[in-house]
Amino acid sequence: MQPDLLPGTRAASVLQNLRHHSPLVHCMTNDVVQSFTANVLLALGASPAMVIETEEAAQFSPVASALLVNIGTLTAERRGAMLAAIHAANESFTPWVLDPVAVGGLAFRTQFAFDVLALKPAAIRGNASEILALAGEHSAGRGVDSADDVLSALPAAVRLAQLTGAVVAVTGERDYITDGENAWRVDGGGLLMTRVVGTGCALSAVVAACCSLPGERLDNVAAACRFMKRAGEQAIAASRGPGSFIPAFLDELYLLNAGELA
């Protein structure tokens, strides 16, 4: 069964909150998407900061509005820095978000992702293959890309939310967002979003920003998904391919307006 669509009025009020609070997002993300992620946050009105040295990361996560932990290019050194940042975030009640890039196939990152599930992420955002793997199920992921149907991963997302207390967003052709009890669906976007690198990673940074806002965390995470899908479909209409999509996408994020979302 399909969950209901997130009402536009809820997405609209989260957008207003995002612009009002301009959350400072501590991004510990992969080497491929640093600049794109920062630009997506800035276009939406949030503030990115990429702080990765262990000592600084533990100092920064308590003063940031939210922390993003993305394991796309995890190394042994980054593992230590991420753990320090997560522990410091938890001590200061800074919400943190896990993006389990390519979890399942590779042992080192998979063990890390399983380990940090116990450290109370506020949200987890991944594609269908990643969410299936993180829930301990068979998945057909191909590197960082999903090869599983997103609706088939919804029960895994629900179980993962129940197990961890996180809001889980599983994304793809449609996005599903659940806290283990209730769920929203978000439609929109388009295939071109998978032909540029970093849309998923940047979405996870937006999820982190939205986790710091007042209101229901389930609605806030679903709204983050809605912002990206809406800007994605608008940008696809305005572009010829991946090259022109990226600047169009940043423009559409910047131009998103609460009245239209509502």
Ligand X SMILES: Nc1ncnc2c1ncn2[C@@H]1O[C@H](COP(=O)(O)OP(=O)(O)O)[C@@H](O)[C@H]1O
* In the complex, minimum distance from the CB of residue 232 to Mg ion, in angstroms, rounded to a whole number: 15
Residues lying near ligand TZP in the complex (CB under 6 A) are found at 30, 32-33, 72-73, 101, 144, 197-201
* In the complex, minimum distance from the CB of residue 21 to Mg ion, in angstroms, rounded to a whole number: 26
- Residue selected from 95, 100, 172, 180 as contacting ligand X according to rule CB under 6 A: 172
Q: Is residue 125 part of an annotated ligand binding site?
A: yes
* In the complex, minimum distance from the CB of residue 19 to ligand TZP, in angstroms, rounded to a whole number: 24
Tokens of 83: 């753990």
Tokens of 106: 């590779």
Q: Which CB atom, from 8 or from 190, has the smaller least distance to ligand X?
A: 190
Q: Is residue 171 part of an annotated ligand binding site?
A: yes
* In the complex, minimum distance from the CB of residue 126 to ligand X, in angstroms, rounded to a whole number: 6
Q: Which CB atom, from 15 or from 27, has the smaller least distance to Mg ion?
A: 27
- Interface with Mg ion, residue 101, by CB under 5 A: yes
- Interface with Mg ion, residue 48, by CB under 5 A: no
- Interface with ligand X, residue 246, by CB under 6 A: no
Largest CA distance in the chain: 47
- Interface with ligand X, residue 148, by CB under 6 A: no
Opening angle at CA 256, ends 253 and 258, nearest 5: 145
Q: Applying CB under 5 A, which part among 81-89, 153-161, 168-176, 199-207 lies near Mg ion?
A: 199-207
What does the alpha-carbon distance between residue 214 and residue 220 come to, in Å, rounded to a whole number? 8
- Return all residues near 89 (Cβ < 8 A) that are at least 6 apart: 26, 61, 62, 64, 67, 95, 96
What is the torsional sign of CA 11, 16, 18, 19? positive
Is residue 200 within 8 Å of 129, Cβ to Cβ? no
SS3 111: helix
**Count of residues engaged in binding ligand X, rule: CB under 6 A:** 18
Q: How far apart, in Å, are the Cα atoms of 226 and each of 7, 61, 164, 175, 190? A: 10, 26, 23, 9, 13
- Residue selected from 200, 220, 222, 231 as contacting Mg ion according to rule CB under 5 A: 200
Q: Which CB atom, from 180 or from 198, has the smaller least distance to ligand X?
A: 198
Q: Interhelix angle for 199-211 vs 217-237, to 10°?
A: 140
* Residues of this chain that bind ligand X (CB under 6 A): 127, 145-146, 171-173, 175, 189-191, 193-194, 199-200, 203, 228-229, 232
Query: Annotated binding site for ATP: which residue ranges?
Result: 125, 171
Query: Annotated binding site for substrate: which residue ranges?
Result: 50, 198
